[in-house]
Structure 1
Amino acid sequence: MGDYNGLALFFVGLGGGFGAILRYSITRLLSAHNGGRFPLATFLINSLGTFCLGFLSGFGAGDAKLLFLGTGMMGGFTTFSTFNHEILRIHGDGHPYHAGLYAVLTLSAGLTLGFLGMAIGYGLSR
């Protein structure tokens, strides 16, 4: 499964589709309850996705699972390009404090939750 082949592409594509649908659904749900200055949905999605990818890595998921869940689903679910765009948009809208807060919180949560997920996954796999 480690080779570049059609089955690998299928797992990545299928996972990516599920991840994108999940991201869209969570964004729609949370956007209805958010004032718009702080992109709560993207923050939560990136934090959860980082934890899940860390968990999969620490747990030692096999190639097919890692392609589907890690590369595909978490790749389609997390939104780093959206994160960057939102920082610039928030700053451009005249809210530099919120832009900075969002950047610091997201990076801190991502590193912390990625480490936590990896540690839990590693612990459960032993």
Structure 2
Amino acid sequence: MKYLLLIYGDELALSETERQDCYAESMQLARDLHSNGQYLGANPLHPTAMATTVRVRDGKRLVTDGPFAETREQLGGYFLIEAKDLDEAIAVAARIPMARKGTVEVRPVIEIPGLPADARQP
């Protein structure tokens, strides 16, 4: 089963050195997951200051700069993994560096037949 591990934290909590260390540790985790067939994807996100929120209400598109809501923790990145069950996904989530400073939400992915395949795969 696929799981999306959503990484939340205070985007201002890390120094640039800590951020680079977090990226390096996350890249090693991605390599480890790839070597055992669990890695499907991962990326950090730009800060919420670069976000744009889109809503459609009564047929009208509403576009707002910034995130939908002000929160103490912001979505900062994700890992998409393959895991045999929730316990295995939780074990991977606990290895994500930001789990020590923020929160990692583990969500099973609903796979809908007929969606286009990942374009990066042969």
Larger relative helix fraction: 1
The structure showing larger relative contact order (alpha-carbon pairs under 8 Å, at least 6 residues apart) is 2
Larger relative strand fraction: 2
TM-score by length of 1: 0.28
